[in-house]
Each structure stands twice: as structure tokens, then as C-alpha cells.
């Protein structure tokens, strides 16, 4: 074992100090949050009356209190809550931002103007038909009919009725109306858009609106917003941590229609320079229109933008629009102190070509740049612009320019939106559930800590210190990256902590093996770390590949999980291979010994796993088939509201209630309860749709409404609450998310297969993938039978399972690979059995520590975390089973089928990692360097 350098110790100390500094604000926030229920219990409805004057005006304050005694008493009673809430907001701003499920945020519902959207689609169809007639040189006149999805077509030249009839018939799949020659000749003819076409267009419009809103919301820099369809014409937006719904609305529904139009050559004659308005009595030239403008200039004395309203005479047809815009950004022009902030534009290839053509043909003319029908600047085209770039100099503030560039990049909305509701809501899980979840994680962590200390003694204490630093590093990286912590992110931390425990267990079990082989403790420590290095590297890199695949898809739960898992795996490699080793070496150098504990589970295990394959493989098949049969009998998989949609009610209670009380009252599928911040006893309740009772002829929506009322009546009484509004809503991520989840698993499996093929042999990769599919399928089936619905939280838990299952399997495979190169006199079956028995204690310990935490979440974490905990619990059990009873037997069968060629290939293959510089200062697995034992 090589002496530890001062540089390594300094790096560990520096990382620890930085991690402490970055995580301390988050720790303070959680400590403050645990008192939330005590203060929210103080809330009562506010009496009507004026707001109190500022505290600095004592006289006015006393007068207000005398005039409003009831209101003054209310404020006095609520002073502790407001003080707590103010402090909570201050701490939250410095802590790691939480996701919507953990902290709440802005909740906005927007309505699409369906009538205008349909009218726009019909008008676009009308224009397309007219262009088709004009291309055929047939004179027609078309007119949109107000208030209905129809237009009128008048054939101006009746000599072309036959050609007109043939041409209009090409549109018969999209419109209805007479298309024969007689009707066209008699004219005008009314054509209506087909009902199916109308429905298709509305669906496309809603999808387009949702996509545009998603892009605009994402441009705000927020993480993991929820954007869902409500009914047929509404979009619901929930943004975590956001507290300004009006700012969100202004950004989301802003049209941002961009146009470039030529200023008429006589504009300077027609516009009065003194007023900036059209001269009295002036007539607009043909083909022009008067357009308002807004010119801004910075007042150097007040440092505020001052605007002047003007008018421009523009040609009535745009030369270029924002349809060809590629990007937009904010720049500062230091040469224009009166108007320094500009929005820069960059066009795509087609836009660049058109812009170059326009600026070349109209060199010397004024070109107006319009935003939402208002001229923001009108520069003179001094030179042709060939690079596809332009700027808008509109008298912007920094915030205005930033918001405008974001909206321009997101593109125009395909339909007009109106505000239906706006509010600030609490956490999806509820404050009590969050505290319960944190308590459950602490209990689970405490159980793991006690076990590691009892089982491994001093080495266990060292591993606990390394684990604490591991979590701190994850949180510190998240703080630096301004990443959002969600429930799925906690799942990612849970997995990486489990893998960190696994790394320490692997190391200590290796040291114990070296001691049992007769090596002195100093040498055993170095050898143990070196031999554990390969398997720790393989398991972490394989899981990191999975995380990197998941990071390519920024869907809410998947992204949150992948983000924390990536950070955690990087932290694992540092703490497991550097921190733990350094602390062990320092302890040994000071004390001359290192207590590795006296307990040893399965130290003399000698189970015939290979022979048991004759039972385990049929058992897995029977279990899967049996679960499928039972699930089919129960009606198949049950999707939560995330995937199937559901029913939403806005409920106000007459008495103080908590989220957990409401959850306890509900016995409905996938309920989700959120408190409306700023309102007393008002909650949003989402539940999955239920089927109507037998013989009851009502819709699912009505049946769900009646069931919810029954549940609330039984707990709170019919007079204990009021349903202020309710509606059905569509899936948040649509069934397309299921396709995405399948794609993710497929791509992750390919990455695992490729890595294991490269590091091991193809057989190991194939066996690992089969075991992974087996685990995922069984967990989904058994979890559904355990009343778990398929929701975004379930998907996050399945991602945890994916990483755990692969890690568990690789540990066994690595020992088989190593044993094949040392046990030349053993058959492959014997090597597999020996390897699985050697790693059995590590497998049980690692799975047990994960179960400690998942069971704590299940029994202490509350209803909000129950589904997540159930999936983790099943995954820990099934993943452990498959590593020994399925994956390795499959490798054995492959080797037997190939005539023992797999064993021969493994024995001949040299690992590149053995040539790398070791942790302990000598080649991995080799003899100690001369004199090293005496250091």
C-alpha cells in the first residue's frame, strides 16, 4: 500500500469544504420546511377590507387598525405564518430548486379560441383552392363565410366549368358541396370543410399550440414543467418554483408575429415629422396601409426608455416573415448609447436567400421590421445583407429583449389563446408528504449506517463518511448546475447511493478475501482495492451509459432521474475509489490496524446455482405467464392520469384540512392533490377516470364525478366542501411517452450490450439484456397486481430498477471473468458456481441496504411515495434473483452450446485495465513491489 500524498488529501478536503458550502443552504431549507404544517394550520379566511399601510408609517398604521379591528386582529393572528413564509421564501431561493411535485409553482389554464382556429384553417384552405384555380388560369372569386366552417366560390368565367369541376373535385376529401358543372355555372357555390377534416385540423392545432407553448416555457429556463391538455380546447401549464403567473402568461400567449415590409417611397411626404402621424387630408397610395410604430430612446438622466408613438406608410405585403427564422438573441450595441439593447436575428438557408434577394433589390430603401403589427424599427438598406442576419432596434429593456428573443425562437402560436385561470399551487405531494419522504430516507439511511458500522466495524464508519460526502457532492453539483430536484431525482440519488454502498462492500469483501488467503493487512488493503477497481469501474460505466442515453430525452421524470444519476455516478467513482481508500490508508498509517468487522454472512456458501437453473428458468417463465393471466383477468395494466387523463375538481373546504386528510378520504385511482397557494382551504384534486357501475348509463367523467363526491361526503359531509369548478383533462405526456419509455429501454439495452461485448464477451451482454427485460416485465406485472398504476413516478422507479439490475449482474460476471483466468482446472459450471457463492454476501448486503430505504419509503413516506417505493422494493428482490438464477445460467448454457469456446476465449483474453496504474501502487492482482510491505 503506497503512502497517501498530501495532494490527494488536499483535494479531498477541498471537495468536502466546497460541497459543504454549496449544500448548506439546502439543508437549512429542509430544516425550516419541517415546521410547515404547524404554520399552515394557522390559516383562516381573510376578512374583507383594505390592505394595511406600510409599517414605516406608524400613524397611518394605527388609524387603519382603529378602522379595521377585525382585519387587524387577523393580521396579528397570522403574523407567525407570514414570518415563517417570508423566511421560507428566502431560504428556498438559495437552496437547490425543487420540482413541481416537491414545491409547487404556477398553474395556468389557457383556452384556445376554437372558432377562430377553425376560421383560420378554413381560410387557409380557401386560399389554397383559389391559388390552384389561378395556377390553372381559371378566374374565381372566393369569400369566407362568417361564423361557420365554410366559404363561397364564384366562377367568373363560365367557359371553364368543366376544368373547374375537375379541379374542385380534387378537394372532395376535405370539403363538401356541389362540384358538378351546372352548380359551378349557376354559382356562387358554398363549400363546407368536412367534419372529419375539422376535427383533424383542431387536433393538429392543439398539438401545435402545445408544442409552441412547450418551447416557450422551456425557453424561460425552468426545469420539468407539466403541460397537459384539458378537455378539447384547453392547455394547462404548471411550472415548478415559478411565482409570477402573469409573466408566464405574457411570455406564453404573446403572438410575436415578425414581418419585414418595405416603407413606401413617399412616407416622408405623407407623415408629419412634427407629430409622427399621417398628415391631415393625405391619401394613402394604392397597395399601402398605415401601420403604427413605436420608437424608443434611452433617457440618460433617468436611465429609463422613453417611447414615441408614430405611424408608417407601408406596402401591404410582407417581403419576409418569421417563418424562416432560425434563432434570435440579445446583443448590446456600444455605439448606440441612446438605444443600446437590440434583438439579433438569424435566418435559415431559405430565409438567408430571400433576405439577400430583398436587400439587394431594394438597396437604399427603408425596410420596416414589425412585431405583432407594430413597427419597432425601420432602417435604411445601405448594403445588401448576404449573411442572413438582422437586428431589431426597438427601444428594448434587457428583460423585454430577452423575452422577445425567446418567443421568436419558439415560433408563432398556431391559434389565439385566452386566459381561463391563473394561480400559484403547492406541491403535488404536499408539504407533509415531502417531510414524510425525507424522514423515510433518513430512517433508511440510518438503518444502512447502523448495518455498515456493525458489520464492517471501523471500515464501516469510513464507508458511511464516504457516503455522506457522496450525497453532498451530488447536491453540490446540482446546486452549481441549477438543476431541479424532483421525486424521480431522489430516485436517482437513491440508486447511486446504493451503488456507492455496493462499491464499499465490494472493496471490503475483497480485503477480507486477501486476509483469508494469508496476506498481511497492509498488502490486503492495497490488493483489495486494486481487485475491486475493475468491477466498480465496469458497473458504474455501464450505468453511466444508461444515464447518458436517458439524458438525450428531456421528458420530466426521466430527465430528473438521469441528471441526478449522472452526477451520482461521477461522485461514486471519486468517493469509492479515492476517498474510501485514502481514509482507510490514513487510519492504518496512524493506528497500524483496520477493523473490518467480525460478522460474515454466507462466507462459506456452497450453493449449486447452475444446477438450480432447471428450476429457476421454468419458475421465471411460470411467474411471468401466471402474472399475465392474472393481469388479463383484472383488465390489464392500469394507467395513471399522466397517461390516460382523468377528472379535475377545484374544491374549497369549510374547515382547515390537510392534503393527507384529503388523500385518506379518497379511495380512487391515482389521486393527486395540490393546495392553491394564497387561498385558504382550496385544493386541486386530480383523479383517474373510473368505470360506471353495472346498469348505470353514464359517462366515465360523470361516474368519476359522482364517486369523488361520495368519497368527500363520507369524510367531510356534503356541507363540508364546495366544488368550485371541475373538468376532464387529457394525458400530460400522451401515450407517446410510453413509446419513448420503450425506446429508452431499447437504446439503454444496446449501450449495455455493446459495452459488455467489448469488456467481456457477447454472451454476457445478451444474458444481461435478457435478465433486464425479465426484471422490468416482472416488476411491471407484479406492481400492477399490487395496485400500482403506471405513472411518471412508476417510470422513474423503473429507471432505478434498470440501473440496479445491470449493476448487480455485472458484479457476478466480473468475478466469473476473473476466475476463468485463474482456475484452469475447473469446468465452466464450477467456475460460475464458485463465483456466485463468492459474491453472494455482497449481493445480499447491497440488496438489503436498498431494501432498507425502499421499505422505509413504503411504510413511512406516505401515500404520495407508496407507488415509487413498491416498484423499488420489487426491483431489489427480483434484480437480486435474476443475477444468480437467470443471467449466469444463461451464460453457462451459451458456453455449453458453443462447445466451451466462451471459457476458452475468456481465459485467453487480457484485460486492458490491468496495465493501468493501480490505486495501491502495484499491478492489479500481481505481487507487491519489493519493500512495499515494510513501508
Got the DSSP string for 384-429?
---SSEEEE-S---HHHHHHHHHHHHH---SS-EEEEEEEEE--SS
What pLDDT is recorded for position 911? 43
C-alpha dihedral, 430 to 431 to 437 to 438, nearest 10°? 160
d(CA 885, CA 617): 7
d(CA 887, CA 895): 13
β-strands 646-653, 417-425 pairing: unpaired
Residues 455 and 599 sit within 8 Å (Cβ to Cβ): yes
C-alpha distances (whole Å) from 545 to each of 501, 668, 769, 879 are: 20, 38, 14, 19
Residues 894 and 906 sit within 8 Å (Cβ to Cβ): no
Reported as type and span, the H/E element at residue 773 is helix 762-785
What pLDDT is recorded for position 561? 67
CA nearest neighbour of 478 among 9, 104, 25: 25
SS (HEC) of 37-77: HHHHCCCCCCCCCCCCCCCCCHHHHHHHHHHCHHHHHHHHH
Task: Please state the separation of Cα 479 from the chain's center in Å.
Answer: 17
pTM (predicted TM-score)? 0.62
What pLDDT is recorded for position 923? 39
DSSP character string of 748-762: HHHHHHHHHHHHS-H
Secondary structure of residue 331 in the 3-state scheme? strand
d(CA 846, CA 840): 10
- pLDDT, one tens digit per residue, over 109-167 is 777 777 777 887 788 788 788 878 887 888 888 888 887 888 888 888 777 888 888 88
Secondary structure of residue 294 in the 3-state scheme? strand
CA nearest neighbour of 89 among 136, 132, 25, 133: 25
Q: How many CB atoms lie within 10 A of CB 908?
A: 9
Secondary structure of residue 300 in the 3-state scheme? coil
The per-residue b/e assignment along 841-874, b for 16 or more CB within 10 angstroms, e otherwise, is bbbebbbbbbbbbbbbbbebbbbbbbbbbbbbbb
What pLDDT is recorded for position 573? 83
First to last CA, the chain: 8
d(CA 374, CA 267): 16
What are phi and psi for residue 255, nearest 5 degrees?
A: -65, -45
What pLDDT is recorded for position 458? 93
HSE-CB of 213 using CA atoms within 13 angstroms:
30
Q: Which regions in the chain score pLDDT beneath 50? A: 554, 732-734, 910-935
What are phi and psi for residue 928, nearest 5 degrees?
A: -65, 150
What pLDDT is recorded for position 17? 94
Give the contacts of 371 (CB within 8 A, at least 6 positions apart): 256, 257, 258, 392, 394, 404
- pLDDT, one tens digit per residue, over 411-449 is 556 567 777 766 666 666 555 556 666 777 778 778 888
CA nearest neighbour of 598 among 455, 453, 449, 452: 455
What pLDDT is recorded for position 557? 55
Amino acid at each position: 500500500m503506497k503512502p497517501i500524498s498530501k495532494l490527494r488529501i488536499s483535494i479531498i478536503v477541498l471537495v468536502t469544504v466546497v460541497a459543504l458550502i454549496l449544500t448548506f443552504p439546502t439543508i437549512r431549507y429542509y430544516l425550516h420546511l419541517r415546521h410547515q404544517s404547524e404554520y399552515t394550520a394557522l390559516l383562516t379566511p381573510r376578512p374583507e377590507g383594505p390592505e394595511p399601510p406600510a409599517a414605516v408609517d406608524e400613524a397611518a398604521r394605527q388609524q387603519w387598525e382603529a378602522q379595521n379591528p377585525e382585519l387587524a386582529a387577523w393580521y396579528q393572528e397570522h403574523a407567525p405564518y407570514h414570518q415563517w413564509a417570508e423566511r421560507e421564501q428566502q431560504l428556498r431561493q438559495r437552496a437547490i430548486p425543487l420540482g413541481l411535485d416537491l414545491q409547487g409553482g404556477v398553474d395556468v389554464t389557457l383556452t384556445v379560441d376554437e372558432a377562430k382556429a377553425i376560421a383560420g384553417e378554413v381560410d387557409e384552405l380557401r386560399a389554397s383552392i383559389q391559388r390552384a384555380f389561378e395556377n390553372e388560369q381559371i378566374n374565381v372569386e372566393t369569400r369566407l363565410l362568417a361564423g361557420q366552417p365554410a366559404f363561397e366560390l364564384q366562377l367568373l368565367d363560365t367557359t371553364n366549368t368543366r376544368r373547374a369541376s375537375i379541379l374542385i373535385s380534387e378537394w372532395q376529401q376535405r370539403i363538401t358541396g356541389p362540384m358538378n358543372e351546372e352548380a359551378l355555372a349557376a354559382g356562387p357555390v358554398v363549400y363546407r370543410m368536412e367534419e372529419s377534416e375539422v376535427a383533424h385540423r383542431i387536433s393538429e392545432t392543439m398539438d401545435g399550440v402545445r408544442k409552441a407553448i412547450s418551447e416557450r416555457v422551456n425557453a424561460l429556463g425552468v426545469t420539468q414543467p407539466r403541460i397537459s391538455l384539458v378537455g378539447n380546447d384547453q392547455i394547462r401549464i404548471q411550472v415548478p418554483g415559478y411565482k409570477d403567473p402573469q409573466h408566464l402568461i405574457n411570455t406564453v400567449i404573446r403572438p410575436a408575429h415578425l414581418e419585414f415590409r418595405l416603407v413606401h417611397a413617399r412616407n416622408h411626404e405623407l407623415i408629419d415629422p412634427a407629430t409622427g402621424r399621417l398628415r391631415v387630408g393625405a391619401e394613402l397610395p394604392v397597395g399601402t396601409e398605415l401601420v403604427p410604430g413605436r420608437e424608443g430612446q434611452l433617457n440618460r438622466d433617468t436611465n429609463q426608455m422613453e417611447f414615441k408613438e408614430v405611424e408608417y406608410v407601408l406596402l401591404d405585403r410582407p417581403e419576409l416573415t418569421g417563418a424562416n427564422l432560425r434563432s434570435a438573441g440579445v446583443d448590446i450595441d456600444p455605439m448606440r448609447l441612446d438605444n443600446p439593447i437590440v434583438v439579433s436575428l438569424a435566418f435559415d438557408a431559405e430565409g438567408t436567400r430571400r433576405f439577400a434577394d430583398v436587400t439587394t433589390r431594394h438597396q437604399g430603401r427603408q425596410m420596416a421590421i414589425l412585431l405583432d403589427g407594430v413597427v419597432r424599427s425601420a432602417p435604411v438598406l445601405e448594403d445588401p445583407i448576404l449573411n442572413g442576419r438582422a437586428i431589431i432596434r426597438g427601444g428594448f429593456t434587457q428583460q423585454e429583449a430577452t423575452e422577445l428573443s425567446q418567443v421568436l425562437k419558439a415560433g408563432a402560436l398556431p391559434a389565439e389563446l385566452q386566459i381561463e385561470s391563473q394561480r400559484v399551487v403547492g406541491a403535488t405531494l404536499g408539504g407533509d408528504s415531502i417531510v414524510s419522504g425525507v424522514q423515510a430516507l433518513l430512517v433508511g439511511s440510518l438503518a444502512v449506517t447502523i448495518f455498515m458500522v456493525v458489520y464492517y466495524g471501523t471500515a464501516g464508519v469510513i464507508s458511511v463518511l464516504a457516503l455522506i460526502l457522496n450525497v453532498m457532492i451530488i447536491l453540490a453539483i446540482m446546486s452549481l448546475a441549477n438543476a431541479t430536484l424532483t421525486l424521480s431525482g431522489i430516485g436517482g440519488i437513491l440508486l447511486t447511493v446504493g451503488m456507492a454502498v455496493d462499491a464499499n462492500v465490494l472493496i471490503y469483501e475483497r480485503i477480507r478475501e486477501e486476509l483469508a488467503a494469508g496476506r498481511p493487512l497492509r498488502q490486503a488493503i492495497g490488493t483489495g482495492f486494486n481487485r475491486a477497481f475493475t468491477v466498480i469501474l465496469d458497473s458504474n460505466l455501464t450505468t453511466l451509459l444508461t444515464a447518458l442515453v436517458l439524458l438525450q430525452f428531456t421528458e420530466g421524470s426521466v430527465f430528473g432521474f438521469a441528471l441526478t444519476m449522472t452526477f451520482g455516478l461521477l461522485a461514486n467513482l471519486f468517493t469509492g475509489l479515492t476517498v474510501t481508500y485514502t481514509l482507510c490508508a490514513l487510519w492504518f498509517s496512524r493506528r497500524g490496524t483496520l477493523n473490518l468487522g467480525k460478522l460474515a454472512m454466507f462466507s462459506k456458501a456452497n450453493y449449486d446455482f447452475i444446477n438450480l437453473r432447471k428450476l429457476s428458468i421454468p419458475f421465471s417463465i411460470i411467474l411471468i405467464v401466471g402474472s399475465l393471466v392474472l393481469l388479463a383477468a383484472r383488465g390489464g395494466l392500469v394507467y395513471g392520469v399522466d397517461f390516460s387523463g382523468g377528472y379535475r375538481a377545484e374544491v374549497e373546504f369549510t374547515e382547515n384540512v390537510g392534503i393527507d386528510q384529503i388523500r385518506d378520504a379518497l379511495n380512487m385511482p391515482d389521486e393527486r392533490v395540490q393546495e392553491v397557494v394564497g387561498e385558504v382551504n382550496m385544493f386541486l384534486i386530480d383523479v383517474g377516470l373510473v368505470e360506471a357501475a353495472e346498469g348505470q348509463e353514464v359517462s366515465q367523467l360523470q361516474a368519476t364525478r359522482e364517486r369523488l363526491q361520495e368519497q368527500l361526503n363520507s369524510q367531510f359531509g356534503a356541507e363540508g366542501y364546495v366544488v368550485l369548478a371541475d373538468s376532464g383533462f387529457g394525458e400530460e405526456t400522451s401515450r407517446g411517452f410510453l413509446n419513448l419509455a420503450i425506446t429508452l429501454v431499447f437504446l439503454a439495452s444496446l449501450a449495455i450490450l455493446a459495452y459488455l461485448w467489448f469488456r467481456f464477451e457477447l454472451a454476457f451482454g445478451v444474458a444481461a439484456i435478457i435478465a433486464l427485460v425479465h426484471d422490468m416485465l416482472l416488476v411491471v406485472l407484479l406492481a400492477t397486481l399490487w395496485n400500482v398504476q403506471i405513472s411518471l413516478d412508476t417510470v422513474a422507479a423503473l429507471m432505478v430498477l434498470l440501473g440496479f439490475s445491470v449493476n448487480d449482474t455485472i458484479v457476478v460476471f466480473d468475478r466469473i471473468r476473473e476466475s476463468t483466468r485463474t482456475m484452469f482446472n475447473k469446468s465452466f459450471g464450477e467456475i460460475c458456481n464458485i463465483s456466485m457463492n463468492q459474491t453472494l454476501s455482497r449481493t445480499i448486503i447491497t440488496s438489503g441496504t436498498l431494501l432498507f430505504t425502499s421499505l422505509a419509503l413504503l411504510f413511512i413516506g406516505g401515500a404520495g411515495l407508496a407507488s415509487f417505493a413498491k416498484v423499488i422494493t420489487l426491483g431489489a428482490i427480483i434484480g437480486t434473483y435474476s443475477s444468480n438464477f437467470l443471467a449466469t445460467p444463461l451464460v453457462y448454457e451459451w458456453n455449453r452450446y458453443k462447445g466451451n469456446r466462451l471459457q476458452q476465449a475468456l481465459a485467453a483474453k487480457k484485460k486492458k485495465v490491468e496495465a493501468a496504474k493501480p490505486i495501491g501502487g502495484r499491478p492489479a492482482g500481481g505481487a507487491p513491489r519489493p519493500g512495499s510491505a515494510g513501508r
